[in-house]
Amino acid sequence: MPLWKIYHPEDAFTAEDRQELARRITATYDRLPEFYVGVVFQAVGPDSFFIGGEPRDNFVRIWVDHIARSLPTEELRTWWIGRCEEALAPFIRDRGLDWEFHIDETPFDFWSIQGYRPPKPDTEDDRRWKRENRPSPPTGA
């Protein structure tokens, strides 16, 4: 389950921007059920974000937690960062905002959704969760 936490200046995004950006982020995870993808927007006041000890009012910081899948090779990580940058660009880079993001990967075994252990990737239960777009008990349980 990816969870994106986007810290941004208070006036950086309209409600429509936030919804469209959340849709773009969700679409990058086209191999996952949509309900896996969470996006949190956290507005930060003009005197509450500091870089190098100085206040910044044009900076966006994005923290992504990945659990459902990992990026085991440098090639995949480079490709993924490019894909993320493409989704974010119209809302951040193209508006002249400075930005930075990082991704943490939590082990798959430390994860549950509504009390269910998610199915392993590329299994029938994984495909069913994607189709149904909701968590449910494993097949045969």
Give CATH superfamily name and number for 3-112.
Macrophage Migration Inhibitory Factor (3.30.429.10)
pLDDT at 44 over 90: yes
pLDDT tier at 1 (50, 70, 90 boundaries)? Answer: confident
| DSSP H or E segment with residue 9 | strand 3-9
For the stretch 82-111, pLDDT in tens is 999 999 999 999 999 999 999 999 998 999
Vertex 72: Cα angle to 71 and 74 (nearest 5): 90
Helical ranges in 29-122 per DSSP H = 74-88
Q: pTM higher than 0.75 for the full model?
A: yes
Q: Any bridge partners for residue 50, and if so which?
A: 55
The whole-number pLDDT of residue 46 equals: 87
The whole-number pLDDT of residue 68 equals: 80
For the stretch 52-85, pLDDT in tens is 999 999 999 999 999 988 899 999 999 999 999 9
Q: In whole angstroms, what is the distance from residue 138 CA to residue 141 CA?
A: 5
Q: Kindly list the distances between the CA atom of residue 134 and the CA atoms of 53, 54, 78, in Å, as whole numbers in the listed order.
A: 44, 44, 30
Q: In whole angstroms, what is the distance from residue 126 CA to residue 113 CA?
A: 13
Q: What mean pLDDT is reported for the chain?
A: 94
The phi and psi torsions of 124 (rounded to 5 degrees) equal: -60, -40
pLDDT at 141 over 90: no
pLDDT at 8 over 70: yes
